[in-house]
Amino acid sequence: MYVWDTGTWVWMAVSMIVIAVALAVVVLVAARGAFHGSEDTAGAKPAATILDERFARGEIEREEYEERRRVLTRTE
């Protein structure tokens, strides 16, 4: 019959903790990628949204807003 000594028990406990931590890291990285993937790939708001926000804050005048909106929606 095999009897575990103290060294075997310690190594098994440490290896189980390391495996559990590695698994948790993998799950967290996968979850972060799933929930934040669209932000990572796009990286910025669409130009039309930014233009709308700037006009709403009063940073640009109506004429400039309309001209830039025309440029953004041009389908040539």
> Do 4 and 38 fall within a single domain?
yes
Q: What is the pLDDT of residue 37?
A: 54
Q: Could you tell me the pTM of the whole model?
A: 0.42
Please indicate, yes or no, whether residues 35 and 13 belong to a single structural domain of this protein.
yes
Q: Do 5 and 16 fall into the same domain?
A: yes
Domain coverage including residue 53? 44-76
pLDDT at 7: 76
| CA separation for the pair 18, 12 (Å, rounded) | 10
pLDDT recorded at residue 24: 96
Q: How many domains does the chain have?
A: 2
Are both 39 and 54 inside the same structural domain? no
Domain check: are 32 and 52 in the same one? no
Say which residues have a Cβ less than 8 Å from residue 34's Cβ, sequence separation at least 6. none
Confidence of residue 8 (pLDDT cuts 50, 70, 90): confident
What tens digit of pLDDT does each residue of 15-73 get?
999 999 999 999 999 888 777 655 544 556 888 999 999 999 999 999 999 999 999 88
Residues 28 and 48 in one domain: no
